[in-house]
Amino acid sequence: MTRVQRRIAMIVALVCISAFVLLAYSVYGTTLLSGQKRSGWTLFIIILFLAGYGLRKRLPFLPIGSASSWLRFHYSLGLVGVLFFLCHIKFALPNGYFELVLAGVFLFVTLSGIFGLLVSRLLPRKISLRGPEVLFERIPRYNRSIQESIESLIVDAVRESESEILAKWYRERLISFLSAEPKVWPHLMESRRDLLRINNEVDALKATVSRTEQRALERIQELIEQKDSLNHAYVHQLILKYWPFFHVPLTLALIIFSLLHVVLVYSFSGGLE
Amino acid sequence: MLRLRVQWQGTTTAEYQFDQREVVLGSIDTCEVCLRGEGVSRFHAVIVNKGTEYDLIDSSVEGTFLNAIEVSAHTIKVGDKIGVGRFIVEVLEASATPIERGETGEWTNFLGDPIEHGDVEHLLKMEPFASIDLDAFPRNRRLRSILQNDCRLLRCKDGDIVLREGDYGTAAYFVVSGATRYVLDTLPDEILGRKSQSRKSLSALFSQARVNRLIPELRASSEQSSSRVLGRRESKGKLPRVFLQDVPHVLDEFNTTVLTEGEMFGEISALGRTPRAATVFAEGDVTLLEIRWQGLRDLRRYSPQLRQYIDRNYRERSLKVHIRETSLFESLSEEEIDKVVAATVFETYGEFDWYGSYKQRISEDGTSRAIEEPVILREGDYVNGMVLIRSGFARLSESTGGSERTISYLGRGDTYGFQEIAHGWRSDSAIPYQRTLRAIGYTDVLIVPTQILEELVIPRMQTSQLPQLFDLENSAERFAFGEAQDDSVDPALLEFLVEHRFNNGTSIMMIDLDRCVRCDDCVTACATVHNGNPRFVRHGKQFRNYMIANSCMHCSDPVCMLGCPTGAIHRDPEGGQIVINEATCVGCSVCADSCPYDNIRMVAIRDEESLFHIDPVTQQPIVKATKCDLCVDQWGGPACERSCPHDALKRVDLSDFATLRKWVKKS
């Protein structure tokens, strides 16, 4: 089965399951039976299964299916879980404060999951399109190395030309560009405004300096391009690495709140079914 | 002696002095040089005493810098500054002294002693050398020089293992005096110095997740016991020799035959780069002539007697099997197969030890590399037979103007030339070869004569089974036929894989960077199943969005296995993975030095107290070779592949391009 065929099969299965859930919900709605506990327990089990993906990642030695199969299952079950959640809250905002918080946590978990799905689909290609692969942990070191190379080029150029134009420009403009934290949004939007701005400055500077300094500036321009590529890789990898730091703790909070919710429901149900 | 000075922002914080084999730089207490700070990995880099010099090997995620240049492995000298995070480690003294065992510089894959002049004279009086026509050898390659330069005298004692079944080797052996035993049965793993790769139990699976990850390369003291079946003979300056402790038991339990003075063994696997077919050990004191493949090749080339001898053995033992395995000859009877076998010619092209010049060659441009490759058959030549690739790889190319264009690559079992022969037979007009076939690295081929195919094979085939006729008018159409052709994988990707000899891998780690989210789950999973020590680096050569990570590729031509003195590195008989039995690994680093892809690492092993295991004889830390074992003892296959959540990582078998095609298409 090709990837496209598998996706189509998955979507068809999801549509069927969703239709079944909605049908069951509408049928229950016409009867005097309460579907709340049933949908609640189903939802809780779904949440536990979804959290099981994290456990699978910690047990790579167990022959319990590949992580990619688990992730696909995680996506599909997550969507079904949203449907159960909507049925459980009867497509309306909960009326208790605690339930409101619980619903809010569920919403944030879902949104962070969808965010994760989107970034894991979109960002890798952007990183590989931009340039050679670089390990995230090595980026700060590369940045330092670039800065040291630029500084040494400028020192050499100043010594040779006996002019302080480049040193002044470095102190006033370039150092802030080199030492600034990478800007997330412009890089995500593939904006090259900052790079163009600094390149324009270099071009303007070239017209006013000696041949030695021009040569240094040409090399500095290449290093600035490299620095920009590193910033690009850093921003994209940062998002890919750190979005689970929202999703996973929120999931844990959701499980704890759900357990509390179960306890409260049974404590205050007064023996009613 | 190694002296280091650690500096933090220009201030000296510590000075160290070492005379051990390995010095680990990292951020945890167990490292010899502990550097706590931003950008320092737990085990950041290692400085290894190579006997004559010290090498700096990076093992970090942040990178190690030598004089401000990032390095993965580099020799260091006095005055060098090593950048680890924000620390600068200055080399104050680096006078490496040879270590009794563990030194690699002067070792070769030979086990024997150099041949003296008197030995040559003695050998020349013995058969088969006595009857060889000395004048048949060219002036620059006399028989004497072959015996002196390409041979060694190997003196074995009772029980010494000369060859192990399943090992690879580049030498053949000739019995000069004494007797050896050729074991007809397959010996148990324990006798062969191997470890049965049984899957771990459920409790063992879980216990590997609880191992202490703060100690690198931790091995329990209890695991370091020696074998009861095998002994080890050490001799200074040489690779150790392994011997059977209980020869009478082996003779009683297993069928053996005696090989005595004047007999040769191991020549087929040495020339054909195939696994040794049997185990041979010394019975009493034996002197053997060890002939390396270069010598063997030339002896066969210039001596008709030896050629006849080797060819006869080859035809009897191996050729028939190869011919029978080829689908074209499936329908032939036993007599007809014999006829094919008798007429088939076998040849070897290229460098047998291609891996020696591999790194230099990949830095050259592709065109000059292709032109230097030896020609097996040339476009326009008369079609005198069909080429069947027995081992290695070949490049199929077509001339376009003044240059050559690569069309496809042929691997083991592929054929070329049948379409031209069939065209001639069907159209009654012979055509020459339409393409040029060149050996990549080392290629072993069989040539089945045209006449045999026209007589025994083609007449039995229906027209629909025969390959299409060439469209000689339309040159574009010449690319459209199918024999040994694979046009659905991007030719540039294929070119990249072959240029870097990745086609040698049966399990290369290929990462699609368009899908990889850089989560490092693969590295974590690998570390989890290998006691906290990942056996690969998520880094490597890149072509467009594909990366070939630095992980053992489990090569079809495993050059790492050539010359292992104890047989510790071997091919798993069941799964075919290349694995290392640490119990018999003596840390000689022959495998790591041979691996052209740098995918084997030598590590000093430590005990539960984080202290090095010390060899009682040499008083030096015990070193072992480590690499990816494809999770042979785990359930469900390689953990790296199974733990990739986005199907971005795949272990691809490049001896079969269909696997690659399937995955590339899928991704």
- What does the alpha-carbon distance between residue A108 and residue A104 come to, in Å, rounded to a whole number? 6
The phi and psi torsions of A180 (rounded to 5 degrees) equal -70, 145
Q: What is the mean pLDDT of residues A228-238?
A: 95
CB-based contact B208 A61, cutoff 8 Å: yes
- B364 burial type by CB count under 10 A (0-12 exposed, 13-18 middle, 19+ buried): exposed
Domain ranges, ordered by start, for chain B: 2-94, 113-191+244-299, 346-485, 494-666
Of A62, A135, A137, the CB nearest to B205: A62
Whole-number CA gyration radius for chain B = 27
pLDDT of residue B226: 62
Residue B460: pLDDT band with limits 50, 70, 90:
confident
Task: Tell me the shortest Cα–Cα distance from A71 to chain B, in angstroms.
Answer: 6
Of B41, B518, B643, the CB nearest to A60: B643
Task: Tell me the shortest Cα–Cα distance from B41 to chain A, in angstroms.
Answer: 9
- B27 burial type by CB count under 10 A (0-12 exposed, 13-18 middle, 19+ buried): buried
Q: What is the mean pLDDT of residues A248-257?
A: 96
Average pLDDT over chain B reads 83
CB-based contact B539 A133, cutoff 8 Å: yes
Q: What is the mean pLDDT of residues B53-79?
A: 82
Strand ranges, E, within B187-253: 230-233, 241-244
Distances (CA, A) of B381 to A271, B46, B376, B388, B407: 94, 55, 11, 17, 18
What residue of B is the nearest CA neighbor of A145? B68
- What does the alpha-carbon distance between residue B114 and residue A153 come to, in Å, rounded to a whole number? 55
- Checking if the pLDDT of B100 tops 50, the result is no
Q: What is the mean pLDDT of residues B84-105?
A: 68
- What does the alpha-carbon distance between residue B301 and residue B456 come to, in Å, rounded to a whole number? 30
Give tens-digit pLDDT for A63-103: 899 999 999 999 999 999 998 899 899 889 998 899 999 99
Q: What is the CATH number of domain B494-666?
A: 3.30.70.20
Tokens representing residue B9 in the block:
């922002």
Q: What is the mean pLDDT of residues A44-61?
A: 92
- Checking if the pLDDT of B107 tops 70, the result is no
Number of C-beta neighbours around residue B603 at 10 A: 22
pTM attached to this predicted model:
0.79
CB-based contact A63 B513, cutoff 8 Å: no
pLDDT of residue A188: 93
Give tens-digit pLDDT for B141-179: 888 888 888 888 888 999 999 998 888 888 899 999 999
Task: Say which amino acid occupies B63.
Answer: G
The per-type count for chain A, helices as H runs and strands as E runs, is 11, 0
- What does the alpha-carbon distance between residue B306 and residue B205 come to, in Å, rounded to a whole number? 54
Give tens-digit pLDDT for B586-618: 888 889 988 989 899 999 898 888 888 888 877
B648 touches chain A (CB under 8 A): yes
Class of domain B2-94: mainly beta
Number of C-beta neighbours around residue B56 at 10 A: 23
Interface mutation target, options B643, B662, B666, chain A, most CBs of A under 10 Å: B643
pLDDT of residue B34: 85
Of A125, A136, A137, the CB nearest to B514: A125
- A199 burial type by CB count under 10 A (0-12 exposed, 13-18 middle, 19+ buried): middle
**Nearest alpha-carbon partner for B75 in B90, B57, B101, B62:** B57
- Checking if the pLDDT of B484 tops 60, the result is no
Q: What is the mean pLDDT of residues B199-223?
A: 80
- Checking if the pLDDT of B292 tops 80, the result is yes
pLDDT of residue B387: 94
CB-based contact B644 A59, cutoff 8 Å: no
- What does the alpha-carbon distance between residue A112 and residue B275 come to, in Å, rounded to a whole number? 54
Task: Tell me the shortest Cα–Cα distance from A146 to chain B, in angstroms.
Answer: 10
pLDDT of residue B288: 92
Task: Say which amino acid occupies A59.
Answer: L
Q: Which residues of B touch A120 (CB under 8 A)?
A: 517, 646
Going A128 to A133 to A137 to A138, the CA torsion angle's sign is negative
Strand ranges, E, within B67-226: 69-71, 73-76, 81-84, 87-94, 113-114, 151-156, 161-163, 171-183
- What does the alpha-carbon distance between residue A66 and residue A262 come to, in Å, rounded to a whole number? 32
- What does the alpha-carbon distance between residue B27 and residue B401 come to, in Å, rounded to a whole number? 59
Cβ B15 vs Cβ B92: under 8 Å: yes
Of A67, A127, A128, the CB nearest to B642: A67
Q: Which residues of B touch A68 (CB under 8 A)?
A: 644-647
State what percent of residues in chain B have pLDDT above 70: 89
Of A63, A133, A140, the CB nearest to B636: A63
Give the pairing of strands B508-512 and B546-550. antiparallel
CB-based contact B518 A241, cutoff 8 Å: yes
Interface mutation target, options B642, B651, B663, B665, chain A, most CBs of A under 10 Å: B642
**B458 conformational bin, left if phi > 0, alpha if psi -120 to 50, beta if neither:** alpha
- Residues of A near B (CB-CB distance < 8 A)? 2-3, 57-63, 66-68, 70-71, 119-120, 123-125, 127-128, 132-133, 135-138, 140-142, 145, 148, 237, 240-241
Residue B490: pLDDT band with limits 50, 70, 90:
confident
Residue A216: pLDDT band with limits 50, 70, 90:
very high
B407 touches chain A (CB under 8 A): no
Please enumerate, as own/partner, the contacts of A248-253 that have beta carbons within 8 Å and a separation of 24 or more. A248/A54, A250/A105, A250/A108, A250/A109, A250/A112, A251/A47, A251/A50, A251/A51, A251/A54, A251/A109, A252/A51, A253/A105
Give tens-digit pLDDT for B234-268: 766 667 788 888 888 889 999 999 999 988 899 88
What residue of B is the nearest CA neighbor of A240? B517
Lowest average pLDDT, out of A35-49, B109-123, B639-653, goes to B109-123
Interface mutation target, options A6, A61, A117, A118, chain B, most CBs of B under 10 Å: A61
- What does the alpha-carbon distance between residue B487 and residue B509 come to, in Å, rounded to a whole number? 22
Same topology for domains B346-485 and B494-666, yes or no?
no
Give start and end residues of each alpha helix (H) in A131-243: 139-161, 165-169, 175-179, 184-188, 193-206, 211-242
Task: Say which amino acid occupies A235.
Answer: V
DSSP character for A189? Answer: T
pLDDT of residue B584: 85
Strand ranges, E, within B432-563: 436-449, 508-512, 537-543, 546-550
Q: B351 versus A221: which is more confidently predicted? A: A221
Q: Write down the CATH superfamily of domain B346-485.
A: Jelly Rolls (2.60.120.10)
Q: At a CB cut-off of 8 Å and minimum separation 6, what does B472 contact?
A: B431, B478
**B484 conformational bin, left if phi > 0, alpha if psi -120 to 50, beta if neither:** left
Of B62, B518, B529, the CB nearest to A60: B529
Give tens-digit pLDDT for A155-191: 999 999 888 899 999 999 999 999 999 999 999 999 9
β-strand partners of B182: B257, B280
B207 touches chain A (CB under 8 A): no
B139 touches chain A (CB under 8 A): no
Residue B302: pLDDT band with limits 50, 70, 90:
confident
- Checking if the pLDDT of A4 tops 80, the result is no
DSSP character for B380? Answer: T
CB-based contact B38 A140, cutoff 8 Å: yes
- Checking if the pLDDT of B655 tops 80, the result is no
ipTM, 2 dp: 0.88
Q: Which residues of B touch A247 (CB under 8 A)?
A: none
Task: Say which amino acid occupies B534.
Answer: P
CB-based contact B646 A3, cutoff 8 Å: no
CB-based contact B513 A138, cutoff 8 Å: no
Lowest average pLDDT, out of A233-237, B20-24, B426-430, B482-486, goes to B482-486
B85 touches chain A (CB under 8 A): yes
Lowest average pLDDT, out of A3-17, A128-142, B99-113, B191-205, goes to B99-113
Q: What is the CATH number of domain B113-191+244-299?
A: 2.60.120.10
Residue B485: pLDDT band with limits 50, 70, 90:
very low
State what percent of residues in chain B have pLDDT above 90: 24
Task: Tell me the shortest Cα–Cα distance from A148 to chain B, in angstroms.
Answer: 9
Interface mutation target, options A53, A57, A73, A141, chain B, most CBs of B under 10 Å: A141
B 485-524 residues inside an 8 A Cβ radius of A: 513-519, 521, 524
Going B367 to B368 to B373 to B375, the CA torsion angle's sign is positive
Lowest average pLDDT, out of A28-37, B34-43, B170-179, B392-401, goes to A28-37
DSSP B451-470: HHIIIIIGGGS-GGGSPPPP
Of A67, A138, A141, the CB nearest to B521: A67
CB-based contact B62 A137, cutoff 8 Å: yes
Task: Tell me the shortest Cα–Cα distance from B327 to chain A, in angstroms.
Answer: 29
CB-based contact B61 A120, cutoff 8 Å: no
Lowest average pLDDT, out of A138-147, B2-11, B464-473, B574-583, goes to B464-473
Of B83, B518, B643, the CB nearest to A136: B518
Q: At a CB cut-off of 8 Å and minimum separation 6, what does B17 contact?
A: B1, B2, B3, B4, B93
- What does the alpha-carbon distance between residue B124 and residue B136 come to, in Å, rounded to a whole number? 15
